[in-house]
Each structure stands twice: as structure tokens, then as C-alpha cells.
Amino acid sequence: MSEDVTVRQDGNVLVIALSRTEKRNALTASMYAKLAESFQDAEACNSVHSILLRGNGGVFTSGNDIGLFLDQDAEEPHEPAAASFIRAVISLSKPLVACVRGHAVGIGATVLLHCDYVVASDDARLRFPFVDLGLCPEFASTLVLERIVGRNKATEWMLLGASIPAGEARFAGLVNQVMPAELAEEEALSVAQRLASKPQMALRATRALLRQGWNDSLAARIDRESAVFDALRRTPEAQQIFRRFLDRTPQAILTHV
């Protein structure tokens, strides 16, 4: 199992940290597997009341390891490993807090849409880079982002793919709090602990009510996006973009605006 994801329990909070810092916590298949297993364990464990997801090295995550898009067998469906991670997140009945420092790109931004509370450091930047990669957004993000920030912002962020400063994400409603970097981790843990200390049946029932009617539309949108994503991933246009990034070709279009 991947050592690039670390898990520890702090009281009733399970703290899951991404720790592949030399690659800006880019997510590999084994990291997705460990994440999926950790979230499933958190759900099953009675002493875990809330979960905190964070990244080491001053970065949340640079998203899917772009090498995976090239390596993957052309016949394989879209990112089964990534799907198992996001499905484990969506299936949680317990609250999930994210602490975002530095970059949250691709699936790193997508997962925030499924969190209950997001604390970002003032140097954090979010990005939905899918169009620039020759891909489309994933895991119901076209549905949830539009619900959270409205049609105009969702369109701007997803089509232009610009890097979104934490303050703008907070103003738009995607981030709950923006803190100085040195305080963000402490604040995120404190929020997770406050959630963990609440009457658990009432907390989970309220959370479920807030998400009522959501799951069917989420599942349908995930399937639709996955089909489009999978077709796009195999196009020469996208494959060339992935190669350029990995080869560090100067005109690689993944420049962060």
C-alpha cells in the first residue's frame, strides 16, 4: 500500500495526508487505492467522527499524475482508481474537512466540491485544468461547481482554466475560510474536532438532509462525464498535451495563469 498517503487518528478525527511532495502530491493509482481504503475504514470505524484531508510540503495536490493518462491501457475505463477514491468520499456519512495549502489542481479541486468545509491558506490556488489538458471535468464537478458558485463562475473557471486565488474561491463560496498559511492547518483540525464533538446522530442526519436528492443526480453526471473524459483522453490532441507536460516542453500549455 502506498506510503505517499499517511493516516493518523487525532482523537475522533482521522487525518489523511497526501505526501508525494517531490511531485507536488500528484496522485498515483496506489495513492488512490490507499485513499479509498482509508475513507472506507473511516466510515466503518466508530471512533472516527470526522475526517481531515490535507497535503504535505505546502501543497494540497497537483491532481492526477499525468503519466497515468499516458500509461493507461486504451481499453481501460476512465481512471478506475480515481473513481474508487471519489466514490468513497461521496459515500461518507461523516463530515470531511479539507485544508488546502498551495496548489489544488484537477482532482484536487474536484474533491473540494464534495467536502463539507474547506480551509485554505492565503497562498492557496485552485484550478480546473481539464480543457487545457484536452479533457473534460470529472466526478460530477460540472454539476456541483455550478450549484455552488453559479453558472457564470463555473463556466469561467472550467473553460478558461485559470488559477483561482483562495480569496476568490472564498468569495464565490467554494472555500469557507482563508487563513495565513501558518494557521491554516491548525484551524482545519480545529473545525474537524468541533464537528467530531457534536451529537453524532444529529450531525449525520442533518448532513444527509443537506445532501438529500443529490446522490442520484451525482451518479448520473459522473457516468456522463466519465464517458466523455474517456473518449477525450485517448485523442491525439490530449495525448500530445500529456507528453508535452511530462517532457517539460516549453510551450506546454499547463502554464498557471
Contacts to ligand COA by CB under 6 A: 23-24, 26, 62-67, 103, 105-106, 129, 133, 254, 256
Nearer Cβ to ligand COA (151/256): 256
Answer for the pair 138, 95: CB distance below 8 angstroms, yes or no.
no
DSSP letter at 159 equals: I
Tell me the closest approach of the beta carbon of residue 160 to ligand COA, in angstroms.
Answer: 14
Tell me the closest approach of the beta carbon of residue 130 to ligand COA, in angstroms.
Answer: 7
Nearer Cβ to ligand COA (26/178): 26
Q: What whole-number distance in Å separates Cα of residue 77 and Cα of residue 115?
A: 25
Nearer Cβ to ligand COA (208/257): 257
Tell me the closest approach of the beta carbon of residue 23 to ligand COA, in angstroms.
Answer: 4
The CA–CA distances, whole Å, from 6 to 23, 55, 226, 248 equal: 16, 10, 28, 29
Neighbouring residues of 204: CB distance < 8 A, sequence distance ≥ 6: 93, 94
Nearer Cβ to ligand COA (20/153): 20
Tell me the closest approach of the beta carbon of residue 6 to ligand COA, in angstroms.
Answer: 19
> Which residue's Cβ lies closest to ligand COA?
106
> How far apart, in Å, do the first and last CA atoms of the chain sit?
35
